[in-house]
Amino acid sequence: MKYLVVDDSKLARLGLIKSLKTHLPDVEVYQATNGEEAVELNKTHKPTIAFLDLTMPVMDGYEALPMMIWDNPDLKVIVVSADIQEQAKAKVIDLGAKLHIQKPINPNKMKDILETLECKI
Amino acid sequence: MQDITLTEDEKDVLQELMNVAYGNATAVVAEMLDAFATLSIPKIKVLKTQELIKEFHSLEGKSFFFSTQAFVGDFSGESAFFIDEASAKNLSSHLELESEEDLDDAILELTNVLTSTLTTRLAQEMNTEVRFALPSISKLPLNEIENSQTFQNYSQVIVIDTQLNFEHQKINGEIFILTKDGSIEWLKNRLNTILEALM
């Protein structure tokens, strides 16, 4: 299974990947630093699951999300954001995200996410 | 005094911690105002106070409500919230306030909720605690800002600059977190500890 981690912060990407690899040490992970890179990597590698930040330079998560699902309809997008306003959550679910999770991600939160998505841990 | 700089990695860690803290604070204020805000990417800079004042001069608008709240602990400093007159009027109209006194009170409460939530969450992310002073407010023409007592307390500051934008209500504000000189080294060490734990 391939994973895509999209965040402009290196800290956020490292933290998320570390949490992911706690449960799934051998998975293939691609990294993007903004929405535009995410759209390209998604087209090329067709990941199964993408973790997507919202507030990013160049192209934000709101813009990238529908494009990524259009290009790769089987993609499951988990929005990982500091923006925890109810309207932000409703908007990303409306755009096709499976879940909206508050930053930062830790191994416990990741376990819950993977179980919700029925990934084999 | 020796100039202190932040490396790209240190800036990245601080920016991400600030992003998390700011998301929490914005959600609290959005609920308080019953409105939806957009988040900006926090900008991190280390500046001499005079350079910071020059930055203020580049802000649009002629006069601002300027409120500040000091915090103390391992991480000490002051948060400053700027809201221009037009936004303040829109805030007043959105909350159906009747007097200037009510508006001052609303801005103080907004500052209190915004900056204390923001700073508390930032401190939590850095595994420390801070205590707060009461916020204070003044209405300043931009060309008088350098006379504010707040800026006499610092020689070099880490400035974390983010914008609060309630698009539908046309309310824009700008938040600065200013850290005292002695806290900058503490902050650098803590940022590196956080980063090393992930390597």
Indicate which of B15, B20, B32, B199 best probes the interface with A, i.e. most A CBs within 10 Å of its own CB: B20
List, as own/partner pairs, every contact residues B182-188 make where C-beta atoms lie below 8 angstroms and the sequence separation is at least 24, other chains included: B182/B76, B183/B74, B183/B75, B183/B76, B183/B77, B184/B4, B184/B46, B184/B156, B184/B158, B185/B4, B186/B74, B186/B75, B187/B14, B187/B75, B187/B126, B187/B158, B188/B4, B188/B6, B188/B10
Distance from CA of B47 to the nearest CA of A (A): 22
Q: What are phi and psi of B160, to 5 degrees?
A: -110, 110
> Over 60: is that where the pLDDT of B1 sits?
no
More confident of the two residues A20 and B48 = A20
| Res. B178 pLDDT band, cuts 50 70 90 | confident
Residue with tokens 């890179």: A37
Q: How confident is the model at residue B59, as a pLDDT?
A: 66
B6 within domain boundaries: no
Most confident of A34-43, B95-104, B117-126, B187-196: A34-43
pLDDT in tens, B104-148: 878 877 877 888 888 888 888 888 888 877 777 777 666 676 776
Instruction: State the pLDDT at residue A107.
Output: 92
pLDDT mean across residues, chain A: 93
What's B38's domain CATH number? Answer: 3.40.1550.10
Number of domains in chain B: 1
B27 touches chain A (CB under 8 A): yes
Q: What is the pLDDT of residue A17?
A: 94
pLDDT tens digits for A46-87?
999 999 999 888 999 999 999 999 999 999 999 999 888 888
Interface test with A, best of B26, B39, B126 (most A CBs within 10 A): B39
The domain of B56 spans 20-198
Nearest chain A alpha carbon to B14: A11
Measured CA angle at A22 (ends A19, A24), to 5 deg: 105
Quick check: is B13 in a domain?
no
Is residue B67 assigned to a domain? yes
**Is residue B123 domain-resident?**
yes
Domains (range + CATH), chain A: 2-116 (3.40.50.2300)
For residue B2, is it within any domain? no
If you average pLDDT over every residue of chain B, what do you get? 81
Q: Does A55 touch chain B (CB under 8 A)?
A: yes
Residue B28: per-residue pLDDT: 85
Q: The complex's ipTM? A: 0.72
Q: Is residue B5 part of a domain?
A: no
* pLDDT at B60 exceeding the cut of 60: no
Q: Residue B65: pLDDT band by 50, 70, 90 thresholds? A: confident
In a domain, B11, yes or no: no
CB-defined contacts A:B, below 8 A: 57
Reported as a pLDDT band with limits 50, 70 and 90, residue A19 is very high
User: Chain B contact for A10, CB < 8 A?
Assistant: yes
- Whether the per-residue pLDDT at B2 is higher than 70: the answer is no
